[in-house]
Amino acid sequence: MPEAEELPISTSTIPTGRKKLSIIPLIFLIYFEVAGGPYGEEPAVQAAGPLFALLGFLIFPFIWSVPEALITAELSTAFPGNGGFVIWAERAFGPFWGSLMGTWKFLSVVINIAAFPVLCIQYMEKIIPALNSGWPRYIAIFVFILIFSLLNYTGLAIVGYAAIVLAIVSLSPFILMSLIAIPKIHPDRWISLGQKGVKKDWNLFLNTLFWNLNFWDSVSTLAGEVDKPQKTFPLGLLVAVIFTCVAYLIPLFAVTGSVSVDQTRWEAGFHAEAAEIIAGKWLKVWIEVGAVLSAIGLFEAQLSSSAYQVLGMADSGFLPKFFAVRSKRFNTPWIGILLSTCFALTVSYMNYTNIIASANFLYSLGMLLEFSSFIWLRRKLPALKRPFRVPMGLPGLLIMCLIPSAFLIFVIAISTKQVYLVSGVFTAVGIVWYFFIKFCKSRSLFKFSSRHEFQEDQ
């Protein structure tokens, strides 16, 4: 078998002449993979007070977001094909770990996707009370998923340009709120350690930061769809990191500095209340509408990521070849979209508090494997062509990866027994799936991509 660096990433199922994703849509797709706006940052203030919340969103990106983005930029340009982190784990440690990475990441993303239709309905039920429960709610969730899955089917370029529009409309009320708040700001409120008598909730604080600043690597599964990925990916990730952090910080500075309320009111969605206090009910409604649009953008971006992950895994021999089938009209991986949509639809009707926590658990396992793959590939394939290279040697890279890894281990350690159980079941299913696929291939039950043989671990 030739050296890994000599093997091109499969393009056998990728039609030629299709329109590829350019830098601007890519930036906004990354933005919606990660954030989608300041919605959800408010519990950081509730948990630890204004000063720690501001410091958290200032410092945590350097601890978590920047390392993850740098790794994504290097490995996506070194292996510019669909599949992303699955390819990285396989090249580093073999097909078993590549397959398990695919299971962990796919499940964490599709479970996450399922939360967005529910979030939309929660905002809409304030206007249409009938959506609160019963069959109207179930139908509304189904229609939401169906309509926006069809939008995803029409093409990644369309999804990318839709993300631009959704970002502009959903962020506009926050920009306006921040400008109106300027005369009302009291800078001394920024250094407040929190309200007296309110106990710090560091678990909520760290989980809020983690939830709002992760999934930078999800866009790696789209690498084969990006125009000139070796140049576009690093620039897109750099701009998206800066843009996302600024989008979190400006409203947080504006609201903490201009609004004085009971700290316990800083629950998810408080920005809408703050907008009413600062400017009036009209701005509150705009932010609530923006929340719905943001959820749509998050749904679209993450559905694209999971669908192209399925395609990439089929291209690399982890799934039967038919999973890489594309629409003849739109060139989109309709099998991947359908599979991801069905998973999301199933989970969206469940009471999935523990399952969401399990998704975070699986994501953490996947990230530990991703950091390990990055370090090992630097050691295993030093001559691999890396159009973008993190400018550090192995000692510096180890430090860069150990800091966020320590946080991931902490997230895993504080999980509940139910989360350990559910995550263990999901992991066991992933292991069984790996050996099932090997059996299918050995018996030629399905056709598999011949580009990358599903071989025994070395």
**For the whole model, what pTM was predicted?**
0.88
What confidence tier does 9 reach under pLDDT thresholds 50, 70, 90? Answer: very low
Within 10 angstroms of residue 346's Cβ, the number of other Cβ atoms is 12
State how far the Cα of 457 lies from the Cα of 94, in Å rounded to an integer: 5
Residue range 165-183: mean pLDDT, rounded? 95
Letter for the amino acid at 81? G
Cβ within 8 Å of residue 406, ≥6 positions away = none
Overall average pLDDT of the 420-426 stretch: 89
A 10 A CB-CB count for 235 gives 14
Q: How far apart are CA 347 and CA 436, in angstroms?
A: 24
Other Cβ atoms within 10 Å of 258 Cβ, number: 20
| pLDDT at position 354 over 80 | no
Whether the per-residue pLDDT at 141 is higher than 70: the answer is yes
Going from the N-terminus, what domains does the chain have, and what CATH number goes with each? 11-440 (1.20.1740.10)
Q: Is 352 helix (H, G, I), strand (E, B) or coil?
A: coil
Q: What is the 3-state secondary structure (H, E, C) of 59-80?
A: HHHHHHHHHHHHHHHHHHHHCC
For residue 320, is pLDDT > 90?
Answer: yes
Instruction: Kindly tell me if the per-residue pLDDT of 8 is higher than 50.
Output: no
The CA dihedral of 259, 263, 268, 274, to the nearest 10 degrees, is -10
Q: For residues 231 and 339, give the distance between their C-alpha atoms in angstroms, rounded to a whole number.
A: 31
